Amino acid sequence: MPESLPAPSSFAGPRFETSSTPPDDVTVLGVPVFSDLTTPPEAGAELDVRFLSQRRFEAKPGQVLAVPADDGTTVVALGVGARDAVDAAALRKAGAALARAAGDATAVATTLAAPWPDLAQAVVEGVGLGAYRFAAANRRDGDRAPTLERVVLVSRRSTRRGLERGAAAVRATWRCRDWVNRPPRDLTPTEFARLAEDAAAGTGAEVEVWDEDRIADEKLGGLLGVSAGAAEPPRLIRVTHRPPGRPRARIALVGKGITFDSGGLSLKPPASMMTMKGDMGGAAAVIAATIAAAELGLPIQVDGWVAATENMPSGTAIHPGDVLVARNGTSIEVLNTDAEGRLVLADALSLAVEEGPDAIVDIATLTGGQRVALGTRVAAVLGTDPEVVRKVIAAGELAGEPCWELPLFSGYRKDLDSDVADLRNVTGQPAASTIMAALFLEEFTGGLPWAHLDIAAPSWADAENLLSRKGGTGWGTRTLIELVARWRDL
């Protein structure tokens, strides 16, 4: 009998199942093919090498070729590369390629995981991420909602654990992408909080939301300052996963939640605002990953902190030269209102510190310097604790979301000194902006083990690839899930 993981009602993506044989009612079967055009014995299908060769199929990871069968079914040859070099990245690409090749099919089966059951999670992630489509209001393309409803992993060996983890990672990433892709008027801080509550319902995750009055009472001066120019009120969102019994560790995740960033009075150029609905990508990753931890029943306590607001110009907006006081009492001279993410993170980090977690990891679309230094496919990571930084990098490698460590060079810290406050939010110089932003955040980490992920460029795709369409990528969501799930083993 096949095993099935039902998708939560809040998730419109595919349902993943396992079975020892291909189901009779599924007419599309994806089969792995090595670069020598042979298939693994466990794949359950032998393909005509001559047929593949004539069609210039080289079986590179991510390459596909549909092979119609006499019985009306379709076998999809999925390239996985050289026999001795198959890894999670190759299977993730192959799974995504299958989802794309399936077209409008509502169900597919694949033997991709059969030869490598320990890599089943990567297969599930690939198919799920490749199947994603944002249901945009676009009459030209008709109904663009995803059509793939059912995915069957065919294997005679157990793939249940990988299926479960992969399915949770897919659900979380879809949530994150959907939230980032929503028009900013449809994802205000209030609506963001409501969506977090809806997503957490029935998972065991707890959601607490502070309104603007509670935010003022709690003295979150950075969040209040950034929100001062917006008609939409701010929200502080806390999502918590508490495992039964004593947790093996307590991890705080902190996300930047700017639901639209105009730059404030330090107004951005129009072209720079086009993707600023995605300036809450870090917050979306934190919420989605924390809910995934609850769905998986992980033995780690996760506290997700999100400071959510718009950053808008108006007669009530903060001015360059204003001084704000953060939750921990630190006064901040605001010289550039477009360096607002670090101001809201200052409050969220301070709240996380007060509860004394074993480690803090924040994630934010923070600086243009990250894009300059590392481009669109590698995030920057900096931190005070080498072991936490190492764990983040290792989790990113497992998730297929690479990170590269930049130095948290203390020699630059004096450049943040202010004449009228404890520190200023920018130095006035473009050099080392990613490092300077991290040095600013360090002031609010209370000396606890901490790492900072800057995902400014990887969080948004300007061009389509196998694993992501244009728009929000959900980058960092799976890294955070891997970090929490494997915290003791990384």
Q: Domain map of the chain by residue range? A: 3-156, 170-485
Q: Hey, is 484 helix, strand or coil?
A: helix
In this prediction, residue 139 carries a pLDDT of 53
3-156 against 170-485: fold identical: no
Strand partners, 74: 28, 68
CATH homologous superfamily, domain 3-156: Leucine Aminopeptidase, subunit E, domain 1 (3.40.220.10)
In this prediction, residue 9 carries a pLDDT of 39
> How far, in Å, CA of 155 to CA of 223, rounded?
51
As a whole number, the mean pLDDT across the chain is 94
In this prediction, residue 43 carries a pLDDT of 87
Q: How far is CA 428 from the centre of its chain?
A: 31
**For range 169-196, the mean pLDDT:** 97
The answer, yes or no, to whether residue 138 has pLDDT greater than 60, is no
Region of 346 please: left (phi>0), alpha (psi -120 to 50) or beta. Answer: alpha
> How far, in Å, CA of 333 to CA of 345, rounded?
15
Q: Hey, is 185 helix, strand or coil?
A: helix
The answer, yes or no, to whether residue 1 has pLDDT greater than 50, is no
Encoded amino acid at 255, one letter: G
Edge-to-edge strand order for the sheet containing 235-241?
206-210, 235-241, 301-311, 250-261, 359-364, 450-454, 379-383, 403-405
Instruction: Check residues 137 and 466 and name the one with the higher pLDDT.
Output: 466
> How far, in Å, CA of 394 to CA of 311, rounded?
34
Question: Are the C-beta atoms of 192 and 257 separated by less than 8 Å?
Answer: yes
Q: pLDDT tens across 261-313, in order?
A: 999 999 999 999 999 999 999 999 999 999 999 999 999 999 999 999 999 99
**For range 43-47, the mean pLDDT:** 82
The answer, yes or no, to whether residue 385 has pLDDT greater than 90, is yes
What number of other Cβ atoms are within 10 A of residue 26's Cβ?
Answer: 20
The answer, yes or no, to whether residue 32 has pLDDT greater than 90, is yes
Closest CA to 206 of 304, 139, 137: 304
Reported confidence tier of residue 402, pLDDT bands at 50, 70, 90 = very high
**In this prediction, what percent of the chain has a pLDDT beyond 70?**
96
Q: How far is CA 463 from the centre of its chain?
A: 17
* CA distances, 50 to each of 34, 46, 54, 112, 230 (Å): 14, 12, 6, 22, 64
Question: Are the C-beta atoms of 117 and 162 separated by less than 8 Å?
Answer: yes
Reported confidence tier of residue 27, pLDDT bands at 50, 70, 90 = confident
Among the ranges given (6-15, 370-379, 385-394), the one the predictor scored with the smallest mean pLDDT: 6-15
The two three-digit tokens of residue 177, written as one number = 């992408």
Among the ranges given (39-43, 314-318, 328-332), the one the predictor scored with the smallest mean pLDDT: 39-43
The answer, yes or no, to whether residue 131 has pLDDT greater than 50, is yes
The three-point CA angle 91-96-101 to 5° equals 120
The answer, yes or no, to whether residue 3 has pLDDT greater than 90, is no
In this prediction, residue 48 carries a pLDDT of 84
Among the ranges given (7-16, 32-41, 378-387), the one the predictor scored with the smallest mean pLDDT: 7-16
Among the ranges given (24-33, 142-151, 257-266), the one the predictor scored with the smallest mean pLDDT: 142-151
The two three-digit tokens of residue 222, written as one number = 């950075």
The answer, yes or no, to whether residue 140 has pLDDT greater than 70, is no
The answer, yes or no, to whether residue 72 has pLDDT greater than 70, is yes
Strand partners, 237: 209, 306
The answer, yes or no, to whether residue 171 has pLDDT greater than 60, is yes
Q: What is the largest CA-CA distance in the chain?
A: 79
CATH homologous superfamily, domain 170-485: Zn peptidases (3.40.630.10)
DSSP string spanning 295-362?
A: HHT-SSEEEEEEEEEEE--STTSPPTTEEEE-TTS-EEEES-TT--HHHHHHHHHHHHHHT--SEEEE
Active site residues per annotation: 268, 342
Q: What is the per-residue burial (b if ≥16 Cβ within 10 Å, else e) of 334-373?
A: bbbbbbbbbbbbbbbbbbbbeeebbbbbbbbbbbebbeeb
The answer, yes or no, to whether residue 103 has pLDDT greater than 90, is no
Tally the C-alpha atoms within 13 A of residue 92's C-alpha that lie toward its C-beta.
Answer: 21
Q: What is the per-residue burial (b if ≥16 Cβ within 10 Å, else e) of 442-471?
A: bbbbeebbbbbbbbbbbbbbeeeebbbbeb
Q: How far is CA 426 from the centre of its chain?
A: 27
Tally the C-alpha atoms within 13 A of residue 177's C-alpha that lie toward its C-beta.
Answer: 30
